[in-house]
Amino acid sequence: MGIKITGTGSYIPKNIERNEDFHQHQFLNTDGSSIDYPNEVIVEKFKAITGIIERRYVDDDLVASDIGFLAAQKAIEDANIDPETIDYIICAHNFGNVKANAIQSDILPCLASRIKHSLRIKNPKCVAYDILFGCPGWLEGVIQAQAFIKAGISKKCLVVGAETLSRVVDIHDRDSMIYSDGSGACIVESVNEDSGIIAHESASFTYDEAYYLHFGNSNNKTLCPDTRYIKMHGRKIYEFALTNVAQAMKDCLDKSGIDISEIKKVLIHQANEKMDEAIIKRFYRLFKAKAPEGIMPMSIHKLGNSSVATVPTLFDLIRNNKLEEHEINKGDVVIFASVGAGMHINAMVYRY
């Protein structure tokens, strides 16, 4: 008996925003002053650190719940289930529905309710709710789904991660180049086989770290001071994640009873290539081991950081043989891990 992801789906927007598209932006320092070197240098340094070459933005007529629905539809089809048999719909996001060229977030009704409505599910006992947990939101939703199934109050759950970060970035902030849009979804259900979720770990570091990611004013001081944009303390997040994500992964693996040599893939939140590489090295060093070649698939180069959508999208791409040189086979042990605003961290050991 196991609790397993039986279907996945994702929505990757078709609009590509390349690094060179930022050459004409007016980037400013946090105090509003001009940056001393040209945008070409700024963009090149950005690429060297993050690994991002391009990112995806949604069409103007789409919002987060729309792309969440599209990913959910695919996951339901992939799992080959009747949507009326779903007991819970859990939607992870951070900013709700933000329309194009608007500044207001809309989360009434919640995104999960909108997705259920779009799926045309009639069953009122299919409970739909949202989870706000930073970038680790989708993974935390999977952990919650497992808890419902273990408790015997659910048999099938739909977990969605959807975000349109392009709508909440400060175009005068260099960090705006990191963010992108996308959605991923999965069906979690009990199965009569020895596979699925083996162990999980979650933590919230709030004493000093709560506001490492926050809403703040534009770097352009001539803009309305009451309008807020996503802001982050990049260096603090990097140092925090390096230590704490690696430790959470170790704690989770220790709890699972599985040896590190059995790990075939580590699917980590696609936040920053250099940061993720450093986390993986630190994680393996905790076991006095060296990270194997190809252990960490990356999608950030082409898709950017779509927050809650990065991990489920990455998993869906691999399952559907759409990520070159990466595959997951039956019986393989995989670690999922994420870190984000809050500051929240989670990890999950999973047998495919």
Kindly list the domain boundaries of the chain, sorted by start residue: 2-193, 198-351
Is the model's pLDDT at 327 over the cut of 90?
Answer: yes
Burial class for 52, CB neighbours closer than 10 Å (0-12, 13-18, 19+):
buried
The answer to whether 320 and 257 are in contact (CB under 8 A) is: no
The answer to whether 345 and 206 are in contact (CB under 8 A) is: no
The answer to whether 11 and 71 are in contact (CB under 8 A) is: yes
Note the maximum CA span of the chain: 62
The pairing of strands 88-92 and 127-131 is parallel
- According to the model, what pLDDT value does residue 1 have? 80
DSSP, res 95: S
Tell me, which fold does domain 198-351 have in CATH?
Answer: Peroxisomal Thiolase; Chain A, domain 1 (3.40.47)
Q: Within 13 Å and on the Cβ side, how many CA atoms surround 17?
A: 24
Q: What is the pTM of this model?
A: 0.93
Question: Per-residue pLDDT tens for 253-293?
Answer: 999 999 999 999 999 999 999 999 999 999 999 999 999 99
Is the model's pLDDT at 324 over the cut of 90?
Answer: no
Pick the CATH number of 2-193 from 3.30.40.230, 3.40.47.10, 3.40.630.30, 3.30.70.20: 3.40.47.10
Burial class for 80, CB neighbours closer than 10 Å (0-12, 13-18, 19+):
exposed
CA dihedral of residues 166, 302, 75, 268 (deg, nearest 10) = -90
Most confidently predicted of 18-22, 182-186, 222-226, 234-238: 182-186
How many Cβ atoms are within 10 Å of 139's Cβ, its own excluded?
A: 29
Burial class for 330, CB neighbours closer than 10 Å (0-12, 13-18, 19+):
exposed
DSSP, res 345: E
37 — phi, psi (to 5°)?
A: -120, 160
Is the model's pLDDT at 130 over the cut of 90?
Answer: yes
Q: Do domains 2-193 and 198-351 have the same CATH topology?
A: yes
